Structure 1
């Protein structure tokens, strides 16, 4: 998952940026003290705004957290899509996508860990978040694999069940690695090989 970009001080003066400021404040607090130890007071202090402004945008800290993770996932999808060159060999494209995936999550270790540890406690909000995240990644993977470069290798369209297996496996491998204190980059080769094996003709 990538860092939600912080706005400049000038942008902070724009009332339309308050939501982004709050998301950035939550992300900074997660990095400093973790999600569970973060309070609304911490978020507004780091966002340099007020509790009133917070509650104008979010009903609860959990709602702000879901919004942060949603924005982070959207940024991950953008980065992966941008990293893949549709003109190169399909196996190279797979490596580009996997390396971008890993790079995104390694760049925000605290947020990645909070995804693993905290999201399950959010109940229905977590289920909706996870479902929406999966759907977005399914669309991305199917789109990346639906190009002339893939078709000429006899690949595609990639089925939804296959993408779910691929996405679920990568996510679980990433989560297990982080939980065990490992480096996400250590899974690069096995993730590339597994993805090629699943997607290949």
Structure 2
């Protein structure tokens, strides 16, 4: 009877563990978006594509995939630290799942605190519900971090879009002076913008700037 109870308890623990694991895996994409540099990178790349004047090239899947791997490249020190202090002891059975989560949060918290605008963090702290009395709560830090990243992405996006806007204005002025008012300027300026982007080695320059912004 005791053996049967032990087996039943073991099956129950395994079922609960499997449920927790599946839940964590289903939440992983959302967690990756909220606590890493992914929002910043994917926003900048999307603005770049719109600035060039391309609607579906590169396709969304390629933009997201490139953003994921650049995020992995940038976040590797944080991920390695979280793996060392949390995942390895959990795998070896030295700590529980709850303790592993508690140990894995600080590396991401430190990363977000370095990138969060203090004014944005103070604003969210002021408007936080009364039940959140801890100013260091993740429920305050994470939205502050995401807003800061999106704001920074828009600032970088403006600098990226400016040269392409100048090309559009020049092409539009030339077409007007030639009396070709029926020709869409965007169609004519697209090859020039692509040539300009290729000449300056745009993809490598943008990717390098994104990575260096986190160093």
Q: TM-score, normalised by structure 1?
A: 0.25
**Bigger RCO of structures 1 and 2 (CA < 8 A, at least 6 apart):** 2
